[in-house]
Structure 1
Amino acid sequence: MRSEHANGLTKIEATTIVSIFFNQMTTALEKGDRVEIRGLFSFYTREYEGYTGRNPKT
């Protein structure tokens, strides 16, 4: 017997889809592309100069 969720996908199928989605997002960001889901969020990478951090406890 196959256990399905309300959308007709099994847990394994849903997990696979989510993994593919995040892997594609990661690949796009590594290439320097912008990832956008309209009305929800957008991600992009940006290069900036390095800096020396400080420890506020000292």
Structure 2
Amino acid sequence: MSEKLADALRGAVRGDVLFDAGTKALYASDASNYRQVPIGVVRPRDADDVVAAVAVC
């Protein structure tokens, strides 16, 4: 499933689409006590990338 999602996002978004373990680990926590590893990470270039990423999901 995540491979199909990654491919779809890469086709729709001009920014970075990252599904590697290292990147996911970096984005798994914030300043809170909670840790949740994401399926992937999208770093959009602009608002159009945000719209495209949401449309894919």
The answer to whether the superposition gives a TM-score over 0.5 is no
More helix by share: 2
Structure possessing the higher relative contact order (Cα contacts under 8 Å, 6 or more residues apart): 2
TM-score in terms of structure 2 length: 0.28
